[in-house]
Chains A and B, each alone.
Chain A
Amino acid sequence: MSSEVLLTVLIVLPFLSSLVAGSLPANARNAEVWLAGAVALIGLAITMSFYPDVTGGDVVRYEIPWLPSAGLNLVIRMDGFAWIFSMLITGIGFLVVLYARYYMSPKDPVPRFFAFFLAFMGAMLGVVTSGNIIQLVVFWELTSVTSFLLIGYWYHNANARDGARMALTVTAIGGLALLVAMLLVGHVIGSYDLDAVLASGDTLREHTLYTTILVLMLLGAFTKSAQFPFQFWLPRAMAAPTPVSAYLHSATMVKAGVFLLVRFWPVMAGTEEWFWIVSSAGLITLVMGAYAAIFQQDLKGLLAYSTISHLGLITTLLGMGTPLAAVAAIFHIVNHATFKASLFMAAGIIDHESGTRDLRRLSGLFKYMPFTGTLAIIASAAMAGVPLLNGFISKEMFFTETAIRNPNMFANLALPIGAIIAGIFSVAYALRFVCGVFFGPPPTDLEKVPHEPPSLMRIPIEVLVLICLIVGIIPGIAIGPYLATAVVAVLGQDTPHYSLSIWHGFNLPLLMSIGALVGGVILYIMLRPYLALGVEGPPLMRRLVGQRIFERILVTISWKWAKSLERWAGTRRLQPQLFLLVLICVVTAWFALRPGFGPVKLQLSGWDPGFVILWLVGIFCAIAAAHQAKYHRLASLVLMSGAGLVTCMTFVWFSAPDLAVTQLLVEIVTTVLILLGLRWLPKRFQKGDADHIALPTKLRRYRDIVLGVFAGGGVAALSYAIMTRTAVPDGISRFFLERAYTEGGGTNVINVMLVDFRGFDTFGEIAVLGIVAITVFALLRRFRPAAESVEKPEQQRIQNAYDNLRPNRQSGDTVNEYLMIPSVIMQWMFPVIIVLSAYIFLRGHDLPGGGFAAGITMSIGFILQYMAGGTRWVEDRLRILPVKWIGTGLLIALATGLGAWAFGYPFLTMAFQYAELPIIGKVPMAAALFFDLGVFVLVVGATVLILIALAHQSVRSPKAARSSVLPTHAVEPPPPPTLETSTVEAPGGAS
């Protein structure tokens, strides 16, 4: 088979079989094992088959186009270093599968375990064979996720849940940092291809972003490999099933961090920053991990801290930056994987067979399980660095490196001293492991009598321990060529000469080794009385638990800060939200309008005193209206119309009479309509006692006033500036001024614009007006006033009471006779208003006026009739069918527009000429006049309709709404004020 296929199979097979494993029935334990074991073996075979291709620094690549546009291709890349890692992953993976077969209880949901396990294996293989650095991050995060699932496998156990969550949080954060680092690397180098990256070490090291990249990359590596200060998650992850610990937390996943360091060693190492950060973090981890390991009471906890310490050793080696140190690091990665995996498995067997992992309860097990005991002792010896075992050789290389004379004081002193101390500690905890578990008096309080495990369960340990021995005795033959392959792949031409032999003669490193062994034994003997006390956790460091600090930080950020942020920024009340929005506007506006900042200049001099007084009145009215809005709606409305009048006068002042006329009429009609509506609004808000307003409320109100003054003042200033600025010479107004008469046939430019130039807009607007009127009518048909508004108004009650007290009067007389003289005048004035409205309508094309203003004037006539005669009186006499008027108006306007088509012009093109009428004289007879007629008719219809709808409420017998939350369809609709009762026929007399 071609290498492409093989590489693809290597990566894809574990994921596919993970799906298969997940879907197998829960009792198919053996099938699962066969499947997982076969996958691991196939992976191992494939990896082995690549050996000839990767020796001597050769690389096998398989590139799959994926996202070429983003510079991303999937690259599966196998070189010597990836090869040796793949061997570890698949080889130890197979042994762990075998081990798990016996370790997992039949009651455990095994399919889930093997599905996660295989997915993890795939992810890990993906990490080591990624030829694209982004792809590497993807698989990296996948290992985080799958390890989360594996650690949390026994999710009914709170420790497992917490441990899993913490592991995921820490490693996933690191992974994201790594992603940024990789993005930056890609940005600096211009490619995400690993080969391209490895070829541009100098570019990277000399780039200004180097430190940023380094820190982010190290965050990724340190979190994954549990380096100081991120070491705390690893002991917590020991809640995982032991096969998981053996696989993830010794051989593979935690090695991903150091894998990354080695992978990028050629391009990132060798700088001051690298040396200081990496080697100091490594050294602290090395010593601290070893120290903490001595005092663990949990067997797996001891191994976890020991793992942390050994990872620290590897990191320290890599931090030194010399090629020889890198060789030692790679070698130790392999060695540590073998002896630590076997120790974890041994710990699992002890746990499995004796029912506990607590060192205080375990003792003298050698008698019960001599085989397992022997294996564990050999593996511990390898961990301690005893000669003739693999741990010795790599540790010896480590000592050699630390002992090299160096101009750097730190390297000169701290490194060798730290190395020796850590060596002593590691011998001590290895002794504690061996002596505590296997020797001493027989155990007393175990739940079951310990015995040897099934022999198949022991095979994985036997294999691994055998490797430890072989490598330790004949390193040159057993591991030499493979190690060389890996080293050459990383170091290339810089590969130094190194020797793997056991005996280098009496030299300083050997002395250090002997010192460590002897020192370790002495330390253990000295510590025995203390250890016998069974105190949990190491002295001095007991209170300084990284995990607790981490949790506290997490809680502070994610809970306390989040809460206060939400309180601060996430209000549910509209008031602060509006405040914030207005504030943003004001601040922005202030920036732009600051004197000398922008081109907008306020003309702040030469004010006419009359105008100032006028605006002061307007401002007073506006502020007072806002102040009264909550407590006294009527006063507020009156004040608002005062402000409106000032607006009208401002228009007059600035020579816009037509605008002023329209505004005035609209102002009148809307005020009356609101007044009519006001009667039905509930009086919910009573003015509170002014003395009892809390200070914060007061302050808030003052704050709001200040903001309101600024916002309102700003808008006023802006409008003043716009209204008084000198006319823009080539602005849009000139176009209309020039063409209003020549093309529209009118001298009232505004009206010509409305009915001619912008006729289409007007058409749309009148349609909207009609819709609004009909909507108001429809909404008020089912209107139900609030409970407290049902009563008759106070004034009417007093008047009726007055009538009732007098024998010659009947209740309601005063109400009927009220305002007798004005009402007669109003009734007499009605025809005059009609004439006025016609006048305004006809002059509209040339002088202030027009269909809209005329329509509003006409409706004022109707309003006056309502005020004079009362609702019943008007409804008896009303001769207008408002809905028909609305329709007719719309149709007239439409017909005018369509008329243009008849003459071959576009829609709404207006012809114009003057007609000589008897008595009235010369009248402009533009087609626009018909259009305006449509506007007029519609405005009258719409206003009258709204008027009817509002006024009719007073003659209905009102029923209060029962409850605001009741669905409306459950309530019987009240009798609607039908148009038929109020309007009989529609003579055309209105125009």
Chain B
Amino acid sequence: MTPELLSSLSLLAPELIIAIGALVLLMVGVYSGERANTTVTGLAVAVLLAAGAWMIVFGQDGAAFGGAFVTDGFSRFMKVLTLIGSVVTMIMSVGFAKAERFDKFEYPVLIMLATLGMMLMVSANDMLSLYLSLELQSLALYVVAAINRDSVRSTEAGLKYFVLGALSSGMLLYGISLIYGFTGNTSFEAIAAALSADGNQLGLTFGLVFVLAGLAFKISAVPFHMWTPDVYEGAPTPVTAFFAAAPKMAAMALLVRVTMGAFEPIASDWQQIIVFVAIASMLLGAFAAIGQKNIKRLMAYSSISHMGYALVGLAANSENGVRGVAIYMLIYLVMTLGTFAFILSMRRKDGPVEQISELAGLSSTNPLMATILTILMFSLAGIPPLAGFFAKWYVFLAAMESGLYALAVIGVLASVVGAYYYLRIIKIMWFDEPVGGFVPMAGELRLVLGVSGAFVLLYVLIAGPVGQVAGAAAKSFF
């Protein structure tokens, strides 16, 4: 092996750990019989944690494979978020798996493969590695969405997701080929260099639009959000939690890197697109969520609008903007995981429930759960001094600094509307007549919910250090 290959592989070590781990675990799963799911899940968590630990301890900046793969502060930050999302959702699936016979060992393996794709996405610095990693992630996700193949809803959701996802991948690829055609390069740096030398060409804008459309699909931003509510509702709840957490991190990181890396010289072009997408996502997410009765569907629309807020930071096209996006994703991740830990514990003796009306009077049947969910909802609504407020604060601040006043004002208005449906949940929990309690919460869910609630509540105290870490991550682009 050449020294270059060796150094490339050493940068890639966390991804290699996951890749090899996934393949080995597939074998383990095939040959370990009845208890395969538990074993494989445990081992998968261990492998992902090992990869994360390796990255934190030995991680260094560098570029591998001729610059197709880069590691920097930003990539490590987002990879840690991705890994947290994957690991926590996998842990949360254990109880569900037992109760609902959702005990396929393929599930953790697929999650690992998807996570591998996400890790590569975060580090992708070339159109080819972008596409390959995106597809690796997407293919695993298509299967995961339909993993409960005995349920019509789940298979329908998976099929829809696949059809739309394949279409958007096609658009993405088409955009990439156009960009390649006009700039003669696939590497982000080379594209940026070609763009700053030649300026923008209109055909290139076309390619840019297609690439952004493909990526917008992955973060479920309007107008490529249509699959989200169906998949969220149809997929088994642990899968929904996973969808809401990890892939968003990776896709957002990729979007940031594409815009900030490859298309930096034509920022004014993509800013318009991002601004439009952000506004549309915030408003649609906020309004469409109001009428929802199923809490998973509600979370789907909530995630759509949250992606819109995160994009506000990106639209600013500044260091503070990227920092805002990073912080937003962190806080969104924690809030989402906490909320889904709660949703997973919405279970009566005769099975899980998903209707919002089932939460009625929770404050009297389970005050602690109700209190933590209230905190999370207030935070999702962006009420100070909870974490969700800071998330919004950073992105709106960045938008203001870049002179995007209208965007910030619309964002605030949208969050008013958004606050309305979060408050509705709070009202149902605290003010409505109780309809009966849930069965006691599983230990792991309790832990996730508690940690998430504490994080959201006490974020005020750690806002400074977190902001510094995110700021350091954002410096990677400037």
Contacts and interface: CB of A to CB of B under 8 A. Distances in A.
Contact of B227 (A138, A180, A577): A577
Contacts of A760: none
Interface string B211-228: 001000000001110110
A183 B400 contact: yes
A383 B402 CA distance: 50
A577 B401 CA distance: 37
A559 B291 contact: yes
Nearest to B427: A165
**Most chain B beta carbons < 10 A, residue from A141, A591, A964:** A141
Contacts of A48: none
Q: DSSP class of A's interface residues: helix, strand, loop or mixed?
A: helix
A224 to B, nearest CB: 15
B210 interface: yes
B367 to A, nearest CB: 11
B206 interface: yes
Interface stretch (A265-273, A455-463, A582-590): A582-590
Nearest to B385: A138
A179 B412 contact: yes
Contacts of A186: 400
A584 B160 CA distance: 18
Contacts of A566: 287-288, 291
Nearest to B280: A569
A671 to B, nearest CB: 22
A134 B393 contact: yes
B171 A585 contact: yes
B454 interface: no
A274 to B, nearest CB: 20
Main secondary structure of the interface of B (DSSP, over half): helix
Interface string B316-343: 0000100100000000000000000000
Contacts of A43: none
Contact of B213 (A137, A145, A563, A584): A584
A161 interface: yes
Contact of B384 (A138, A180, A557): A138
Contact of B205 (A134, A558, A592): A592
Interface stretch (B40-48, B105-113, B243-251, B463-471): B463-471
Interface string A949-988: 0000000000000001111100000000000000000000
A40 to B, nearest CB: 22
A67 interface: yes
Interface in A882-903: none
Given A572-B229, A581-B224, A180 B468 contact: no
Contact of A155 (B151, B159, B430): B430
Contact of A172 (B206, B383, B409, B431): B383
Contact of B417 (A137, A209, A558, A968): A558
Contact of B416 (A172, A563, A577, A968): A172
B209 A588 contact: yes
Contacts of A578: 163-164, 167
B468 A69 contact: yes
B438 interface: no
B400 A169 contact: no
Contacts of A569: 222, 284, 288
A192 to B, nearest CB: 10
B145 interface: no
Interface in B236-264: none
Contact of A184 (B405, B464, B471): B405
Contacts of B151: 965
Interface string A169-208: 1001100110110011011000000000000000000000
A965 B150 contact: yes
B431 A155 contact: yes
Q: How large is the interface on A (under 10, 10 to 19, 20 to 34, 35 or more residues)?
A: 35 or more
B291 A592 contact: no
Contact of B463 (A66, A145, A588, A966): A66
B387 interface: no
B419 A599 contact: no
A696 interface: no
A69 B398 CA distance: 12
Interface string B404-423: 01001100110111011001
Interface in A577-626: 577-578, 580-582, 584-585, 588-589, 591-593, 597-600
B126 interface: no
Contacts of A177: 412
B170 to A, nearest CB: 9
Contacts of A137: 384
Contacts of B160: 574, 577
Contact of A209 (B182, B205, B405): B405
A215 to B, nearest CB: 11
Contact of B202 (A65, A592, A965, A966): A592
Nearest to B222: A569
Given A69-B468, A570-B288, A578-B164, A592 B416 contact: no
A161 B427 contact: yes
Contacts of B60: none
Contact of B401 (A65, A187, A592): A187
B60 to A, nearest CB: 24
B290 interface: yes
A770 B202 CA distance: 43
A169 B420 contact: yes
Interface in A930-944: none
A70 B401 CA distance: 11
A142 B226 contact: no
B396 A597 contact: no
Contacts of A209: 405
B358 interface: no
B416 A589 contact: no
A565 B287 contact: yes
A542 B468 CA distance: 56
A599 B230 contact: no
B195 to A, nearest CB: 15
A549 interface: no
Nearest to B149: A968
Nearest to B396: A183
A152 B389 CA distance: 23
A733 to B, nearest CB: 13
Contacts of B436: none
A561 interface: yes
Contacts of B435: none
B287 A561 contact: yes
B152 interface: yes
B202 A597 contact: yes
B397 interface: yes
B201 interface: yes
A592 B174 CA distance: 13
Nearest to A594: B202
B201 A599 contact: yes
A277 interface: no
B389 A562 contact: no
Contact of B409 (A180, A577, A580): A180
A966 to B, nearest CB: 7
Interface in B10-54: none
A412 interface: no
A180 B430 contact: no
A582 B323 CA distance: 34
A592 B164 contact: no
Contacts of A577: 160, 164, 226-227
Given A169-B420, A600-B203, A67 B150 contact: no
A209 B408 CA distance: 14
Given A176-B412, A180-B408, A598-B202, A67 B420 contact: no
Given A569-B222, A600-B203, 16 more contacts: A68-B464, A69-B323, A69-B467, A69-B468, A145-B378, A155-B431, A165-B423, A180-B409, A187-B401, A558-B417, A562-B290, A565-B284, A574-B159, A577-B160, A591-B206, A966-B150
The list of the 4 closest CB pairs from A to B, nearest first, reads: A592-B206, A138-B384, A562-B290, A577-B226
10 contacts: A152-B430, A172-B383, A172-B419, A179-B412, A184-B400, A569-B284, A570-B229, A574-B160, A589-B206, A599-B202
